[in-house]
Amino acid sequence: MGSLWEEFNRLGTEMIVTKAGRRMFPTFQVKLSGLDPLADYVLLMDFIPLDDKRYSPTPPCRYAFHSSSWLAAGRAEPAAPGRVHFHPDSPAKGAQWMRQIVSFDKLKLTNNLLDDNGHIILNSMHRYQPRFHVVLVDPRRDSERFAHQNFKSFSFPETQFMAVTAYQNHRITQLKIASNPFAKGFRDGDPEPWCGVPAGSLLGTTTRARAAPLPPRPEKQEKGAPRSHGALVAAAQQSAAPPNFPELPAPPFQPLTCPPSVYVGAKPCTLPYPLPAFPPLNTYGTTAGPTFGYGQQ
How far is it, in rounded angstroms, from Cα 276 to Cα 138?
A: 13
Give per-10-residue mean pLDDT for the chain (297 aa). Answer: 92 95 95 96 95 73 53 82 92 96 96 93 94 93 85 95 92 91 59 40 42 55 57 57 53 48 43 53 47 41
Does a cis peptide bond (omega within 30 degrees of 0) precede residue 26?
yes
146 close to 272: Cβ distance less than 8 angstroms: no
How far is it, in rounded angstroms, from Cα 208 to Cα 159?
A: 52
User: Where are the alpha helices (H) located in the chain, listed in sequence order?
Assistant: 2-11, 94-99, 170-179, 184-188, 201-211, 229-240
What was the pLDDT predicted at 261? 39
How far is it, in rounded angstroms, from Cα 35 to Cα 97?
A: 8
Let me know if 100 is exposed, middle or buried by CB neighbors in 10 A (0-12, 13-18, 19+). Answer: exposed
Angle between helix 170-179 and helix 2-11 axes, rounded to 10 deg: 160
What was the pLDDT predicted at 81? 77
Phi, psi of 72, deg, nearest 5: -65, 145
Does a cis peptide bond (omega within 30 degrees of 0) precede residue 60?
yes
pTM of the model: 0.61
CB count in 10 Å sphere of residue 115:
20
